[in-house]
């Protein structure tokens, strides 16, 4: 986790004490570091310097407008998967001409909105979608820029829920069918074929699967050139993993270097869609211990954040480090760190050795990606506030929801 430091037993993000964040904004609360976001973006971008490239931040990882606006200011483009994400990008000052539209289920209104906004391209995931985009574009007299998302049938060796590049996945166009679909795309009147795309999964900790996918993309690109279909860009998707615990993902230089070598001499512009890598280690979830429950079998630290705030542990059995905000002396006890939600799957961490007391704050680390973005209102829990630390300054970038807001769209029967 970046930007975190311990000052005489008190935990700070940049120059802000997390205790101060909690007293000002309450808990649970997501806290991000502007410096960590900025530095990570800069490092990612710089790793590809010298080659024509565009970073399209995957909005789904963290779609807060302040985060999107920060990346837009740094020059980032965006990878979106819904009309909602498109509206967020536009509201945050993102450039639609640097925005790619991914996803297997784009609806006609979403396609229309993206065409009207002028997105860089549609990453098309099926033959039917291709026809639909052609039709919608025709209806408004536009030419839709398209790229086919091919499924390279590569094992990303990650959690099965977040692997997307295998044959049996719902994602992408089967590799064997891609060439003929490209030929068809080239004949459709309202399409302009601009690129090729793949995304094989998330939280990858090895370079080899990326290279295997890239190799297939390059083969197809050459075959297409032989067919007279010349592509302007290659989009390698996102997926670069981060360190949550003991993983050792490739560092950015290794990842970029390998891609660079494989692409040597290619005229196409490179597009990348990193999500987690840019935001994951720039944010944490701040929570307070409500109760300690010591038992003969297990001890529970019951905190005020739950699976509705951070779903990753419950959903993927994902590990997030959990550390006290105030270091206490004394022998640690082993705790199940759990939330108030009425499900046994509601946990944030298993078997954590902590020296804590009721009322203490805990920081759940590396929660900047797929944390708030996947949160819900289960158990009628208002979603957490979000705060951005900037040096010594604190900015509330999303207010805590109120319960009344949660049911304001509901109506009793007449």
CA 332 to CA 329: how far, in whole Å?
Answer: 9
CB of 56 to ligand LLP, least distance (A): 8
195-211 as b/e, with b when 16 or more CB fall inside 10 Å? bbbbbbbbbbbebebbb
Element at 244 (helix H, strand E): none
| Alpha-carbon span 137 to 188, nearest angstrom | 11
Mode of pairing for the β-strands spanning 361-364 and 16-17: unpaired
Provide the minimum distance between the beta carbon of 407 and ligand LLP in the complex, in angstroms, as a whole number: 27
Per the rule left: phi > 0, alpha: psi between -120 and 50, beta: everything else, 330 is: left
Residue 29 Cβ, how far from ligand LLP at the closest point, in Å? 19
* Residue 74 falls in which region: left (phi positive, over 0), alpha (psi -120 to 50) or beta: alpha
Residues with Cβ within 8 Å of residue 278, at least 6 apart in sequence: 37, 40, 41, 44, 57, 61, 71, 369
Q: Kindly name the residue from 7, 29, 56, 342 that is annotated as catalytic.
A: 342
Q: Which is nearer to ligand LLP, 310 or 325 (CB)?
A: 310
Nearest approach, Cβ of 387 to ligand LLP (angstroms)? 21
Nearer to ligand LLP (CB atom), residue 364 or residue 394: 364
Nearer to ligand LLP, 273 or 309 (CB): 273
CB of 284 to ligand LLP, least distance (A): 15
Shortest Cβ 276–ligand LLP spacing (Å): 4
- Residue owning tokens 């120059």: 15
Contact 59, 89 (CB under 8 A): yes
Nearer to ligand LLP, 300 or 316 (CB): 316
Neighbouring CB atoms inside 10 A of 57's CB total 34
Kindly list the residues in this chain that would bind ligand LLP in the complex (CB under 6 A): 58, 61, 79, 102, 162, 199, 202-203, 237-240, 273-277, 312, 316, 370, 374
- Give whichever of 201 and 324 is closer to ligand LLP, judged by the CB atom: 201
Contact assessment for residue 326 and residue 362, using Cβ atoms and an 8 Å cutoff: no
List of residues 6+ apart from 255 with CB closer than 8 A: 47, 207, 210, 240
CA distances from 228 to 149, 182, 193, 224 (A): 19, 11, 11, 6
Nearer to ligand LLP, 152 or 239 (CB): 239
Least distance (Å) between residue 317 CB and ligand LLP? 11
Find the DSSP H helices in 273-413. 276-279, 312-316, 403-407
SS (H, E, C) 148-191: EEEECCCCCCCCHHHECCCCCCCCCEEHHHHHHHHHHHHHCCCE
- Shortest Å, Cβ 365 to ligand LLP: 14
Specify the residue, 90 or 374, whose C-beta has the smaller distance to ligand LLP.
374
Query: 235-255 burial by CB neighbour count: b if 16+ within 10 A, else e?
Result: bbbbbbbbebeeeebbebeeb
Q: Are 68 and 92 in contact (CB under 8 A)?
A: yes
Query: Helix crossing, 65-73 with 34-47: angle to 10°?
Result: 40
Whether residue 7 lies in the annotated active site: no
Residue with smaller CB distance to ligand LLP, 273 or 386: 273
Active-site positions read 342
């Amino acid at each position: 986790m970046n930007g975190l430091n311990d000052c005489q037993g008190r935990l700070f993000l940049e120059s802000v004490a997390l205790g101060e964040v909690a007293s000002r904004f309450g808990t649970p609360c997501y806290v991000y570091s502007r410096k960590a976001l900025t530095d990570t973006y800069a490092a990612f971008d710089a790793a590809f310097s010298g080659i024509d490239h565009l970073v399209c931040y995957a909005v789904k990882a963290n779609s807060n407008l302040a985060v999107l606006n920060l990346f837009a200011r740094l020059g980032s483009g965006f990878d979106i998967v819904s009309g909602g994400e498109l509206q967020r990008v536009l509201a945050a000052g993102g450039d639609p001409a640097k925005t790619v539209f991914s996803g297997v289920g784009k609806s006609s209104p979403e396609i229309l909105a993206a065409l009207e906004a002028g997105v860089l391209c549609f990453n098309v995931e099926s033959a039917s979608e291709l026809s639909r985009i052609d039709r919608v574009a025709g209806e408004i007299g536009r030419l839709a820029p398209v790229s086919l998302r091919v499924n390279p049938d590569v094992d990303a060796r990650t959690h099965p829920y977040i692997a997307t590049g295998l044959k049996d996945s719902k994602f992408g166009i089967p590799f064997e069918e891609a060439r003929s679909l490209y030929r068809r795309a080239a004949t459709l009147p309202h399409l302009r074929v601009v690129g090729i795309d793949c995304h094989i999964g998330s939280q990858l900790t090895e370079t080899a699967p990326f290279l295997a996918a890239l190799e297939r993309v390059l083969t197809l690109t050459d075959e297409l050139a032989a067919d007279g279909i010349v592509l302007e860009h290659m989009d390698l998707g996102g997926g670069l993993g981060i360190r949550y615990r003991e993983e050792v993902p490739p560092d950015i230089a290794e990842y970029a270097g390998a891609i660079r070598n494989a692409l040597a001499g290619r005229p196409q512009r490179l597009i990348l869609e990193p999500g987690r890598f840019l935001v994951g280690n720039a944010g944490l979830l701040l929570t307070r211990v409500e109760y300690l429950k010591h038992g003969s079998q297990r001890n529970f630290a019951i905190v005020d954040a739950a699976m509705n705030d951070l779903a990753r542990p419950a959903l993927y059995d994902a590990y997030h480090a959990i550390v006290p905000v105030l270091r206490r002396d004394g022998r640690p006890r082993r705790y199940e760190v759990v939330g108030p939600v009425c499900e046994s799957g509601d946990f944030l961490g298993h078997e954590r050795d902590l020296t804590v007391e009721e009322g203490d704050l805990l920081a759940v680390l590396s929660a900047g990606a797929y944390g708030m973005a996947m949160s819900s209102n289960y158990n009628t829990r208002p979603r957490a506030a979000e705060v951005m630390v900037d040096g010594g300054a604190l900015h509330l970038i999303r207010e805590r929801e109120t319960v009344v807001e949660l049911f304001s769209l509901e109506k009793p029967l007449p």
